[in-house]
Structure 1
Amino acid sequence: MYARRDDMVLRFGEREVRTLTDRDNTGEINAAVLAGGLQAAADEINGYIGGRYTLPLPVVSSNLRGIACDIARYRLTGTERVCTGEIRDRYRDAIWKM
């Protein structure tokens, strides 16, 4: 994976990450849901860069970590969390950067 829980919390705040992942209303970040979103982001990134770089990358830059967070945030929206224009724009920007 290109980003971790701490990266998501640092970028969006604990409340936002909890809102994205707390499907059972426990008041806590759901680690399994978050891991699924981060893995989906990593898979998407690998699809874009796999033809240009040998995977796994030996070093993950802070820029790529941020891109992974933006993609994961977008992927975690849906039934419980509405995708806002800001979330969609950050996702589109992240894809464009790759």
Structure 2
Amino acid sequence: MIYATVQDMVARFGELELIQLTDLENIPPAELDAARIEVKLSDAQSFVDGYVGQVYRLPLVGCVKTSAGGAQEHVPPPVLTRLTCDLARYYLYDDLAPENEVYRRYQAAVKELEAIATGKAQLACPWGGSPGQPLVADAQSGDELQTYSSFRRGITDDDLRGFA
């Protein structure tokens, strides 16, 4: 599932800003370089998956949304679209001062992803249901606890006694 598209980026940040960030040759007429944006969106989605994958089995199924005609489609949770766009926008900038609004949004996105990964926040589907199969119990779906662990038991001081 793709969390955000070039059109999502244009809707959030405007075509002018994206043209300025992607038309590196700066030769009139200025044009939006969709391929450059898609690369940054892919990078951002991978970053998001690193956090979301700690809570949900990847790839996400997505939220089920019913259109006016009654057709159902799977769409990403809106929060992931926003976070992916904020991250991709940050990646498009080459040099940012820490006080820049783009950098602050990047930092906020990382904090929000950390909250999702640690269970302090959940992905929500505004239309109901769960965005994917949780690795642990999910309050939205009521799924049974499913734990997957690749962690070994920790080594304690008692385990090390007698070794030189």
Query: Would the TM-score normalized by the shorter structure come out above 0.5?
Result: yes
Question: What is the letter of the counterpart of residue 59 of structure 2?
Answer: P
Question: What is the letter of the counterpart of residue 83 of structure 1?
Answer: L
Please give the residue correspondences for 1:8-87 in structure 2 after superposition, counting only pairs within 5 Å. Answer: 8-26=9-27, 27-59=30-62, 60-78=76-94, 82-83=95-96, 85-87=100-102
1:52 Cα deviation after fit: 1.3
1:24 Cα deviation after fit: 2.2
Deviations 1:25-49 (A, max 9, x none): 2511101111111001001101111
What is the rounded CA distance, in whole Å, between the counterparts of 2:55 and 2:92 in structure 1? 27
Aligned length in residues? 95
RMSD between superposed Cα atoms in Å: 1.2
1:83 Cα deviation after fit: 2.4
Q: What TM-score, normalized to structure 1? A: 0.89
Q: Which residue is 1:6 aligned to?
A: 7
- The gaps in structure 2 that reach 5 residues or longer are 63-75, 114-164
Considering fraction of residues, name the structure with more helix: 1
What is the rounded CA distance, in whole Å, between the counterparts of 2:24 and 2:3 in structure 1? 23
Q: What TM-score, normalized to structure 2? A: 0.55
Considering fraction of residues, name the structure with more strand: 2
- Could you list the structure 1 runs, at least 4 aligned residues long, displaced by more than 3 angstroms after superposition: none
The SS at the match of 2:35 is: helix
- The gaps in structure 1 that reach 5 residues or longer are none
Larger RCO, structure (CA 8 Å, separation 6 or more):
1
Identity %: 39
Question: What is the letter of the counterpart of residue 17 of structure 1?
Answer: L
Larger Rg: 2
What is the rounded CA distance, in whole Å, between the counterparts of 2:96 and 2:23 in structure 1? 16
Question: What is the letter of the counterpart of residue 88 of structure 1?
Answer: Y
Q: Does 1:91 align with 2:106?
A: yes
